Amino acid sequence: AQSVTQPDIHITVSEGASLELRCNYSYGATPYLFWYVQSPGQGLQLLLKYFSGDTLVQGIKGFEAEFKRSQSSFNLRKPSVHWSDAAEYFCAVGARYQKVTFGTGTKLQVIP
Amino acid sequence: DTAVSQTPKYLVTQMGNDKSIKCEQNLGHDTMYWYKQDSKKFLKIMFSYNNKELIINETVPNRFSPKSPDKAHLNLHINSLELGDSAVYFCASSQGGDYHTDTQYFGPGTRLTVL
């Protein structure tokens, strides 16, 4: 069975600074990988997903993520963070015939 | 307009009671889901319905019974509530029936507290 780890529970960045949220997964074959964002009081919203092909995936809201098989990672990046990006971010891993497993989230705080 | 809505947003109840959470989506999607997010933020799928038919049923106590009167609604009924049922329950929907690849749209969640 697959698993996913988000090592950082909480991250604080200054508005305008770059952001990288870490996600490591464990799965024997090529996984399906997802990043979701959850704003306070809201449900999860899909930012981007990777199934195959180009390992650099562009998502909504200016986010991107890179699949690195050698490091079993799928880190989420944004070059310049906006105050509205403050939220909780969840990485998830799935595969054909396997249920999707979610990480426990990274809470992002943005300071002026 | 809210795409996936859930009611109630908060639910506080005593152990042993029976309660329901309602979910509606106005996206015209074929598939709906229920997830449970526990206090440690682990999010796990519970059920999935495609065109009113159950297609995913994870290891969930049979006190939990989903009901889909039509493809726009998927309600969750919980009998004999226990302390461990306290969690946030999310409803979601997707256009197709492929749980692994289809983009899912989530509702805002229902925070259930069992006293």
Average pLDDT of every residue of chain B: 91
B106: nearest CB among A44, A94, A96: A44
CB distance B33 to B45 below 8 Å? yes
Q: How far is B4 from chain A (nearest CA, A)?
A: 9
Residues of the domain holding A12: 3-111
Residue with tokens 């069992």: B114
B contacts of A100 (beta carbons < 8 Å): 45, 99-100
The residue type found at B73 is: H
pLDDT at B77 (0 to 100):
96
Taken in order of first residue, the domains within chain B and their CATH numbers are 4-114 (2.60.40.10)
- Shortest CA distance from A89: residue in chain B: B41
Please state the φ and ψ torsions of residue B38, each to the nearest 5 degrees. -85, -175
What is the distance between the alpha carbons of residues A4 and A10, in angstroms, rounded to a whole number? 17
Type and span of the H or E element at B91: strand B87-94
What is the distance between the alpha carbons of residues B58 and A6, in angstroms, rounded to a whole number? 24
Q: How far is B82 from chain A (nearest CA, A)?
A: 23
Closest C-alpha among B108, B97, B98 to residue B4: B108
What is the distance between the alpha carbons of residues B94 and B33, in angstroms, rounded to a whole number? 8
CB contact (8 A) between residue A41 and residue B108: yes
What is the distance between the alpha carbons of residues B115 and B24, in angstroms, rounded to a whole number? 27
Angle at the Cα of B48 from the Cα atoms of B90 and A88, rounded to 5 degrees = 30
| pLDDT tens sequence across A27-84 | 877 889 999 999 987 889 999 999 988 999 999 999 999 999 999 999 999 999 999 9
pLDDT at A15 (0 to 100):
97
Chain centroid to CA B51: 16
Closest C-alpha among A26, A51, A43 to residue B98: A51
What CATH code is carried by the domain that includes residue A24?
A: 2.60.40.10
Task: Mention every residue, 6+ apart, whose C-beta is less than 8 A from residue B110.
Answer: B6, B7, B8, B9, B10, B11, B21, B88, B89, B90
How many folded domains does chain A comprise? 1
**Residue A47 in 3-state DSSP?**
strand
CB contact (8 A) between residue B58 and residue A99: yes
CB contact (8 A) between residue B4 and residue A95: no
| CA-based R_g, chain B, Å | 13
| pLDDT tens sequence across B46-101 | 988 888 788 877 778 899 999 999 989 999 999 999 999 999 999 999 998 777 78
Q: How far is A87 from chain B (nearest CA, A)?
A: 14
